[in-house]
Each structure stands twice: as structure tokens, then as C-alpha cells.
Amino acid sequence: MTYLETAAQFYHEVAQTPQVGLCCVQSTPLQLPGLKIPDKMQAMNYGCGTTVHPTELFNQPTVLYVGVGGGLEALQFAYFSRRVGAVIAVEPVDSMREAATRNLEIAAEENPWFDTSFVEICTGDAFNLPIGDASVDVVAQNCLFNIFEPEDLTRALKEAYRVLKPGGRLQMSDPIATRPIPAHLQQDEQLRAMCLSGALTYQEYTQRIINAGFGQVEIRARRPYRLLDTQTYKLEENLLLESLDSVSFKVAIPEDGACIFTGKTAIYAGTEPFFDDSAGHLLQRGVPAAVCDKTAAKLANFNPAEIMITDSTWHYDGGGCC
């Protein structure tokens, strides 16, 4: 069996017997007014964060959801795009497609606004999405891409890039590792399937997104996810995994490199009313301006005495440079 087949077998099992919090942490799914999440769907919340960002889901976007699981996030996306076929959910595991279909039928009984035709569940996988180039506004995946070995992750990211319209968004949530995961754990296919040993470091994860062509990456959340302890995982030191929610845009990569927003701001503290770096960044004295990490580094070098750069908050949702 390949590691992908091991993962498929694992998700076949947890489709048949839901296991609360088995592969990911237990977290309360995003609650929305008038949305009732069926209990069985909630029990199959196998995501480690959220990919659903309500303030951006206007104009009923078409969403391609990769790895449907129990259908929870497909339902949440459908909440915002209430039309036939608005959410296309791709899933290679038969029993998982069946479970999601059943859960969405229950959701239709419990939610007067929802019709199962809003979500189309298709056979397919992250490497061969069954839709044309530049055809969707959003691609989303939660806690799936971390399972992939690095070269497969690159293939999946490129495939997501292919199907997104220009300006479209890749909305992801995945575990990341605070230091490289040792080979003996990476090679453990069961742990990898459980989202516990395939995670890359923040640096490597974001670099692979950029290498796939995404010109802007926004970090929406970063929080502790799991601790791999020395005894259970045969490590010399405990290893903390975090979960990272991100939105990456299919826009051109600027000549001086992609923009990654992590919640940093630049504040001009000089004597003039404002500071102009002649590169498109105008800082009013005393007023924080959101900047990407690349601009933050340039401004910090430019004039460290007069420009203060605040730390990453790991939450950015608009405004500022670039």
C-alpha cells in the first residue's frame, strides 16, 4: 500500500465509525445564524481550524472543496452560496462520499434554507480535480494537504492554482510543525493519515504555496494544535504542532517576492506628519499601517529609529500595503 492508500483506508474507517477528535482537535465549528449542523456531521469534524471566512463569501462564490469529510464545511460554504452546484466537493473515498451525502440530507431536513443540490459531491482527488482551468472562485481544504508528502503537496497546490479563476482564493487549514518532524515519524503512514506527522514547518509550508504561483498569502490564525511528546513519539524533545489558517491569492508574484501578511504593522514615529518610502507606502505619524512581512523588513531596515514594526499577530484580514 502507498501512504495515500493507507490514508484512504483510514478515512474509510472513520467514515463508517465517526471518531470525535480522532485525527484533529475537538473544536466548536463556526456557528452561523440559522445554521443547524447535524450531530453526525459535527461528530465527523475532522478539520483543525476553519477555511470558512464569512466576510469574504459575498456574491455567492463557486467553491471547490477538496476532501469533503462529513460535509461540515461544504454545508457552511453553501450557507453563503445558496444556489445549485455552488459547492463542488471532491472526495476519493466511497464511504466518505456516502457519509457526507447522508449528513447533507439530514442538514436539508434541519435547515429550511438548505437544499442538497447546493453541494455536488464528486469522485476525484486533490491531484486531479474534475473541473476545468480557471473555473472557481475559492478552493478550500481543511486538514488534508498536511497528509501529503512534500512533492505531492506541490502537485495538489498547483492543481488548486489551475482551477482557480485569476484573483481566486485558496483557503486552507493545516497543522504545521514548530521544527522539522523526524524521519521516523514522517514515515509512519498511520500517523501521517491522522494529521500528526506530515506537517511541514511554517517556512516550508508557505514557501511551497508561493512556489505553486500564489502571489499573496494571508495568515488568518495560528494556534497550538497537538504536542508530540518524547515518550509516545520517541523524540528527544517534545514537539509542538500548530494549526495554521491561511488564504492564498492567485495573483502575480511581485518582482521583489510574494507578499505574506501575518498581522504586522509599521508605525512612523518621526517628526514629519507622514513618511513616504517612495515605494507606495505612506505612513501617517503614529498610525499603524498593516504591512506584509516583506515590506515590514524593508521599512525596518530603512529607518529603524523612526519606524516601529509590530509583531505578527497571526491574524490579518485586509488593508495595508501591496
Ligand X SMILES: C[S@@+](CC[C@H](N)C(=O)[O-])C[C@H]1O[C@@H](n2cnc3c(N)ncnc32)[C@H](O)[C@@H]1O
By CB under 6 A, name the binding residues for ligand X. Answer: 4, 7-8, 11, 23, 45-47, 66-70, 72-73, 91-93, 96, 125-126, 142-144, 195
Task: Give me the half-sphere count of Cα atoms (radius 13 Å) on the Cβ side of residue 214.
Answer: 29
Compare residues 95 and 310 and give the one whose CB is closer to ligand X.
Answer: 95
Q: Alpha carbon of 120 to those of 44, 133, 159: distances in Å?
A: 19, 18, 19
Compare residues 129 and 296 and give the one whose CB is closer to ligand X.
Answer: 129
Cβ contacts of 255 within 8 Å, gap of 6 or more? none
Compare residues 225 and 275 and give the one whose CB is closer to ligand X.
Answer: 225
Q: CB of 151: closest distance to ligand X in angstroms? A: 13
Q: CB of 65: closest distance to ligand X in angstroms? A: 7
DSSP state of 195: T
Q: CB of 215: closest distance to ligand X in angstroms? A: 25
DSSP state of 236: S
Q: Which three cell numbers stand for residue 88?
A: 463542488
Q: CB of 48: closest distance to ligand X in angstroms? A: 8
Q: CB of 47: closest distance to ligand X in angstroms? A: 3
Compare residues 127 and 302 and give the one whose CB is closer to ligand X.
Answer: 127
Compare residues 121 and 267 and give the one whose CB is closer to ligand X.
Answer: 121
Contact (Cβ atoms closer than 8 angstroms) between residue 81 and residue 60: yes
The residue ranges of DSSP E strands in the chain, in sequence order, are 63-66, 87-91, 119-123, 136-142, 164-177, 216-228, 239-249, 259-261, 265-268, 274-276, 282-284, 289-290, 307-309
Compare residues 93 and 200 and give the one whose CB is closer to ligand X.
Answer: 93
Q: What does the alpha-carbon distance between residue 123 and residue 100 come to, in Å, rounded to a whole number?
A: 12
Q: CB of 8: closest distance to ligand X in angstroms? A: 6
